[in-house]
Amino acid sequence: MTKTVLIADDEPNILISLEYLMKREGYRVVVAHDGQEACELIEREHPDLVLLDVMMPKKTGFDVCHEIRANETFKALPIVLLTAKGRDTDVAKGLAMGANDYMTKPFSTKELAQKVRDLLGAQA
């Protein structure tokens, strides 16, 4: 069965490139343009993994991550935070909010694809 990856980012160019990358890797892709839409799509689509930008309108990636982890249904949902904010305190905050991993932009698409494979493989 094809795994579904939800990508949430308010930057159209990043959304397009990540969507292309994940589809090329064989995943079904759902996209959200802000944090609120991400929460709604997670509830509706039940993705297998979420790639979540930290700095988004309506709700930040931190807020979305916290909300997802508060819902028993999504406690085990793998979340990778993507951000330009790579300070140690930001990374620590993301992981404390329940993210499984954290990647700082710009990141290697090869490394991201491997991270997704690893997290989804661990879930199987």
CATH number of the domain where residue 41 is located: 3.40.50.2300
The four Cα atoms 104, 74, 110, 22 give a dihedral, to 10 degrees, of -120
Q: Please give the residue range of the domain that contains residue 27.
A: 4-115
- The answer to whether the beta carbons of residues 79 and 50 sit under 8 Å apart is yes
Is residue 123 one of the residues assigned to a domain? no
- And the tokens for 93? 């905050």
pTM over 0.85: yes
Q: Distance between CA atoms of 44 and 76, rounded to whole angstroms?
A: 16
pLDDT tens-digit series, residues 9-64: 999 999 999 999 999 999 999 999 999 999 999 999 999 999 999 989 999 989 99
Share of the chain above pLDDT 70, in %: 94
Considering its fold, how many domains does the chain have in total?
1
Is residue 124 one of the residues assigned to a domain? no
Q: Which backbone phi and psi does 53 adopt, to 5 degrees?
A: -70, 145
Is residue 78 one of the residues assigned to a domain? yes
Is residue 122 one of the residues assigned to a domain? no
- The answer to whether the beta carbons of residues 30 and 53 sit under 8 Å apart is no
